Amino acid sequence: MKIGIIGRTNVGKSTFFKAITMEEVEIEDRPFTTIEPNRGIAYVRVECPEKEFGTKCQPHNSPCIDGERLVPLEVIDVAGLIQGASSGKGLGNKFLSEAMEADALIQVIDISGKTDAGGNKTSDYDPANDVRMVDSEMRIWLKNVIMRAKAKSGLDLSQEIQKNLSGLGISLERVREAVKAVRADSVSDSSAEAIADYILKTTKPMIVACNKMDASDDADRAVERLRSSFPYEFMPCSAAAELTIKEAERHGFISYRKGKIERVKKLTPEQERAIRIVENIIKAHGSTGVQEILNRLVLSIKKCKVVFTVQDEKNLSDANGRVLPDAYIVDQMATPKDVAELVHSDFAKAYKGAIDCRTGLKVKNDEPVKNGQILKILI
């Protein structure tokens, strides 16, 4: 599972990325700070089944904090978009293809309206312009890729189109579906646009992170206005506040559990001031919004599932005796064999079936796994 962070330049994409991955990346208040993409690992948080089984987990691939399991996924933060990027403006369109490798997208916008279309300081900029711009740049970019499909003997239209989309995680089946849905019989300007539109809607689910809510006069109202204008989910956040918490935690100054900040060490007046600002944001909004956005995109919008794997179904442990060692994020339609593939390609090759550890029964091989399921793969 890979998440792409996209959006207009200088809205806080890299700040959001750093807050969820803790990778050292460049963050600056100017347009086009990020040039090469940043890649890292972030975590979706779900309840760990340890409590249900009255046991203590010994995680291997996914840390557990206070009964919350942190299940890893890949994240990529790309250069900022501006109008015309799909035809090479700004930093060009290379990064559009990098972002489009992702299985789902977080579009970051600046809900405070204090940066303009070019990423420069202003007041009262309407971020709806950016949502429209990103939509249109993605569509034009994908349309242009589809337009490269040429009718050649031996391949049908869908195969020709899909050839150009390999690497973007778009299957031939999906392309066939799109071609059928828009009733295309050749690649033209309008059919390519319709196919691009269909493919984007069905393969690249997106959530809009309304960032810099701390700098907005009325973030909630601004978010509400956007919700009524676009078919996306909009959620407010402050990536800067989340980053402050994560940095302070990393240095052992505070601990942050279940929405509450506790001072672990005596803070300097400056640190105290920074933490108070964050506390006020949490008080006003319930949280910084960052983790909620990631969870919402992966579990509710993309409808991914979290599956645990074990080797010993009685003790729920692996070969080394670790209890509930591994958790994986899988696609909505993933089968037990797809889970085996994630554990190890050798597991998938030798796959003979899987047991649901709650029921002790074999699961159906062709049925999607269930969210939260604990599986023993039989080889």
Ligand X SMILES: Nc1nc2c(ncn2[C@@H]2O[C@H](COP(=O)(O)OP(=O)(O)OP(=O)(O)O)[C@@H](O)[C@H]2O)c(=O)[nH]1
x/- letters, 179..218, toward ligand X (CB under 6 A): --------------------------------xx-xx---
Residue 203 in the binding site for Mg ion (CB under 5 A):
no
> At which residue do the structure tokens 């299957």 appear?
171
Residue count, binding to ligand X (CB under 6 A): 22
Residue 93 in the binding site for ligand X (CB under 6 A):
no
Among 7, 12, 14, 304, binds Mg ion (CB under 5 A): 14
Q: Which CB atom, from 18 or from 69, has the smaller least distance to Mg ion?
A: 18
How far is it, in rounded angstroms, from Cα 45 to Cα 41?
Answer: 13
The conformation of residue 6, written as its DSSP 8-state character, comes to E
Among 3, 4, 6, 13, binds ligand X (CB under 6 A): 13
Contact by Cβ (8 Å): 208, 297: no
Q: What residue 215 binds from Mg ion, ligand X, none (CB within 5 to 8 A, per partner kind)?
A: ligand X
Residue 115 in the binding site for Mg ion (CB under 5 A):
no
For ligand X, which residue has the nearest CB?
80
CB of 27 to ligand X, least distance (A): 4
Enumerate residues 6+ apart whose C-beta is below 8 A from 66: 257, 258
Q: Which CB atom, from 44 or from 108, has the smaller least distance to Mg ion?
A: 108
Enumerate residues 6+ apart whose C-beta is below 8 A from 305: 329, 330, 331, 332, 334, 368, 369, 370, 371, 372, 373
Per DSSP, what are the bridge partners of residue 3? Answer: 75, 104
Residue 34 in the binding site for Mg ion (CB under 5 A):
yes
Helix (H) or strand (E) holding 257: strand 254-257
Q: Which of 294, 290, 295, 260 is nearest to 275 (CA)?
A: 260
Binding residues for ligand X (CB under 6 A): 9-15, 27-29, 31-34, 80, 211-212, 214-215, 238-240
Binding residues for Mg ion (CB under 5 A): 13-14, 33-34
